[in-house]
Amino acid sequence: MELRDIGIFLTLAEELHFGRTAERLHVTPSRVSHAIKKQERRIGAPLFERTSRTVRLTPLGQQLRDDLLPAHQRIQQAVDRAAAEARTGSGTLRAGCTTPWCADLLLRAADVFRGRHAGWTVGIREIQFNDLFGSLHRDELDLQLIEFPVHEAGTAAGPVLFRERRALMVPARHPLARRESVSLEDLADVPLITLEHELPKPVADIHFPPRTPMGRPVPRGPSYTFWPEVPALVAAGLGASIVAARAARYHDRPGIAFIPFRDGPTLDYGVLLRADKQAPLVPAFVDLLRELADSDGGE
């Protein structure tokens, strides 16, 4: 069955009217009728019940529609994407991130992306916590990698790329630094360094919980505006910070220790997009990010 004939079948299955189907596809009703008869001869059974007043799918036609529709939609999306790319010969896709491990993923993706899409480059920008979504709202970015969940008007959540175990970054002299692991209950025993900028409550509760699971208050330490302040505050003995476990590879320094949590949720990193518009090659770049993240197996 040719792709064009599949399109005719699926359109008729939706419209259930030969005239409307022909008008929608810019062909004649006889062309629609010929294509359907050709498909029925090949299959060996009717796909539609026709009367002078109605057109209905047979049970076999319903099954064929349900089997073909998802694959046809994927093919059409691929064709549309290729056409969009052909219309955009060159340009810069703008991506942001909040962590160095997300920056590493973006840099790898940018290198592959340039090889796949001649004439295109990827610009990468670090996003500060005091302006998490401003760059997207100001149309300075096409997408960003960020910790989920996100509750921000005007944005759309893309796929989660990887999930990270959490750790507690503590002063090296703190008693918790001698532990092999910590629990959320241990947060009651050390001040938690917090972000000066206010976050939506569901997000803040993951990164800066006000209480432990048993209801004990979590003491508050000093606040910060930019991430590089945090390791310095911890090394000075002023508090602790909940971080991704792999932060130990990027932010280790004298005076601090990273202790993994044995309970609690993961930190989930995903793609955040603008809800109102999307650059032509953004879907291809998101697919590439997912491909590389899957190949890393969460690393």
Q: Who wins on pLDDT, 185 or 119?
A: 185
Binned at pLDDT 50, 70 and 90, residue 218 comes out as very high
Residue 202, C-beta contacts closer than 8 angstroms, at least 6 positions apart: 149, 151
Lowest pLDDT segment from 11-15, 125-129, 224-228, 278-282: 278-282
Q: Which of 18-32, 65-79, 126-140, 245-259 has the highest mean pLDDT?
A: 245-259
Binned at pLDDT 50, 70 and 90, residue 130 comes out as confident
Query: Residues 181-206: pLDDT tens digits?
Result: 999 999 999 999 999 888 777 778 88
The pLDDT score that the predictor gives to residue 135 is: 92
**pLDDT for 71 beyond 60:** yes
The pLDDT score that the predictor gives to residue 85 is: 59
CA 55 to chain centroid, in Å, comes to 42
The pLDDT score that the predictor gives to residue 77 is: 76
CB 233 within 8 A of CB 193: yes
Binned at pLDDT 50, 70 and 90, residue 174 comes out as very high
Q: Who wins on pLDDT, 4 or 159?
A: 159
Q: What is the mean pLDDT of residues 155-184?
A: 96
The pLDDT score that the predictor gives to residue 143 is: 96
Query: Residues 74-94: pLDDT tens digits?
Result: 887 777 666 665 555 578 999
Mean pLDDT rounded to a whole number for the chain? 90
